[in-house]
Amino acid sequence: MTPHNEALKEQIARTVIMPGDPLRAKYIAENFLDNSKLVNSVRGMYGYTGSYNGKEITVMASGMGIPSMGIYSYELYKFYDVDNIIRIGTTGAYSKNLDLLDVILVENSYSKSQYARILNGNNSELIPASKELNEVIKIQAQKNKVNLHIGNILCSEVFYCDDKSFEQPEKFDCIGVEMESFALFANAIALNKKAACILTVSDIVGASKKRELSPEERQNSLNQMIKLALESC
């Protein structure tokens, strides 16, 4: 147990699916897992362990932002012996080739955050996902006929700001923006673990006409991404 996770070590699977929203974790457990059991509810950050196609899997929320993801994923890797974490979440799309509900697999996370530097002296602003885990996800996407968009993501520390404030070097060509992947990837590299991030487009950044998913759609209508993550386990 940790100050943020009341689960016993044996109650957490070696592979964890991490949505940001605790209610999305609950939704996945109730609709996709067999014999799911609530193993953590500290601070309302729900975690469930059950099985999917006979494979033991834990689904646990990360909360919003780099610090929250940093805490929960670090503890899972360090104190619960988790090997793989797949973040699933939503993203604002930059690319004109993306539309609402398109699915993205993140290759690298770009951020100006100091998280990685403070964690273990990693001064890189571009941190990669696990190539091995990403290859598994690509294979499962083909099997499940998911049109997967692959690219870099901007991991921002600020949600409420002008679109112009989402500055990124053109050479990194980020196709969307979210708020958690940088900490997850940094933790995985620091602890010699594996991490991946699958995202569903929930809104179009800078669109002349506002286009976004409702809160209900964000929680309940992301099944293609959820199933892809579970199949990749």
Residue 165 confidence (pLDDT): 52
Active site residues per annotation: 203
> In the chain, where are the structural domains located?
9-232
Work out whether strand 194-204 and strand 174-178 pair parallel, antiparallel, or are unpaired. unpaired
Task: Provide the pLDDT for residue 108.
Answer: 97
Residue 94 in this model has a pLDDT that exceeds 90: no
Residue spans of alpha helices (H) in the chain = 22-32, 66-79, 115-120, 131-143, 181-190, 215-220, 223-232
- 42 — pLDDT class (breaks 50, 70, 90): very high
Lowest mean pLDDT among 7-11, 161-165, 217-221: 161-165
> What is the arithmetic mean of pLDDT over 61-80?
97
Surface-to-core class of residue 172, CB atoms within 10 Å of its CB (0-12 exposed, 13-18 middle, 19+ buried): middle
Q: Tokens standing for 133?
A: 């885990």
Of residues 28 and 167, more confidence is placed in 28
Point out which residues pair with 17 in neighbouring strands.
59, 86
8 A C-beta contact, residue 37 and residue 43: no
Residues pairing with 212 in the sheet: 203
Buried b vs exposed e over 129-146: b needs ≥16 C-beta within 10 Å?
bbeebbebbeebbeeeeb
**pTM reported for the whole predicted model:** 0.92
> Over the stretch 189-198, which tens digit does the pLDDT of each residue have?
999 999 999 9
Contact, 198 vs 130, CB < 8 A? no
- Average pLDDT (150-178) is 78
Q: Which of 6-20, 29-43, 213-227 is least confident?
A: 213-227
Span 23-37, average pLDDT: 96
- Which pLDDT tens digit goes with each residue over 130-145? 999 999 999 999 999 9
Q: What is the mean pLDDT of the chain?
A: 91
Q: Is residue 188 over pLDDT 70?
A: yes
Class of domain 9-232: alpha beta
